[in-house]
Amino acid sequence: MEKGASQVNEPVGSKKLNGVPVRVFLRSLLIQSSLNFWRMQNLGFAYSLIPLVRKLGQNRQQVSNMLTRHLRIFNTHPYMSGAVIGSVLKLEEDFCKDGNCPEADKLKKVLTGPYAAMGDSFFWGSLQPFSAIVGVAMAIKGFLAAPLIFLLIYNPVPVWFRVKGFIDGYSKGKGWVDFIGMMNMPRMSRKIRWMSVIFLGILAYIISAVHSHPCVSHFGIPAKIFMLVIIVLCFFVIQSGISQINILYVAAFLFFVITTVMA
């Protein structure tokens, strides 16, 4: 009886998890496939850890405890989820007993919010618009490979974050936080946004050169510089915190006035 009790309380780390991390990582790529409004990515998170549950050979109550914990609400940026899953897998391996692991639960709560904010700002707010601007500029110039170039600029970064995040999360546990700090994602986001402004100016010049209004053709370079100044001014207005909806209303009104005068 004592032997059975010791097996029940045996930490996961004492068992060999051959191949489990790889299967968990592959499943983590599908974390968005069961997104729901009730608990967001919880089903995808629990699904990712099924290989660990199967490998442990726990009894029904222990399996129930573990899956119930990971079916709680979970929501972070999908590209950053691999880091959380890798860290949780490591903590479950080292500290889980009887299907319970307070360290893993605490880590999930601590990381989900910051990772979501950093991921949204970097991927959705910086990298994706930059990649799209470059792709559109090349498409306007007639490059047939423009869509492919967009994918080649954007896709490697999320793939790298998913793989690197999971590997570091699993190997370091809580140490993955240090990697995020070293990457300094807010600073990278600002740099990419500035690059986006530059390429947006180039795109505006390309469009004006291909489809220029007679007024623009008459004034030449000064008119194009004026257009670039307007674009940069809009960027600073957005950065100041003014509602983007209000900016769109004002811009639409100004365009209406300008086109009416030029007609």
Collapsed DSSP state (helix, strand, coil) of residue 74: strand
Q: How confident is the model at residue 49 (pLDDT cuts 50, 70, 90)?
A: very high
Q: What is the pLDDT of residue 1?
A: 38
Nearest partner of 31 among 46, 53, 21, 19, judged by Cα: 46
Q: What is the pLDDT of residue 209?
A: 62
Q: What is the pLDDT of residue 139?
A: 87
Helical (H) or strand (E) element with 23: helix 20-28
Task: Write the pLDDT tens digit of every residue in 152-201.
Answer: 999 999 999 999 989 988 987 766 666 677 777 888 888 888 888 777 77
Is residue 133 within 8 Å of 195, Cβ to Cβ?
no
Q: What is the pLDDT of residue 105?
A: 86
Q: 188 is written with which tokens?
A: 């990278």
Three-point CA angle 4, 8, 9, nearest 5°: 120
> In this prediction, what percent of the chain has a pLDDT beyond 90?
25
Q: What is the pLDDT of residue 26?
A: 94
Tell me: pLDDT of 108 over 80: yes
Q: Looking at per-residue confidence, does 5 or 108 come out higher?
A: 108
233 Cβ contact list (under 8 Å, min separation 6): none
Q: How confident is the model at residue 29 (pLDDT cuts 50, 70, 90)?
A: very high
The model's pTM: 0.71
**Helices 185-210 & 128-140, crossing angle to 10 degrees?**
20
Task: Write the pLDDT tens digit of every residue in 109-130.
Answer: 888 888 898 898 899 888 998 9
Task: Write the pLDDT tens digit of every residue in 190-240.
Answer: 888 888 877 777 777 666 665 555 555 555 566 667 767 777 777 777 777
Q: What is the pLDDT of residue 153?
A: 93
Q: 198 is written with which tokens?
A: 């530059």
Q: What ranges do the domains of the chain cover?
A: 1-184
Kindly report which listed range (69-83, 116-130, 212-226, 247-261) carries the lowest average pLDDT score: 212-226
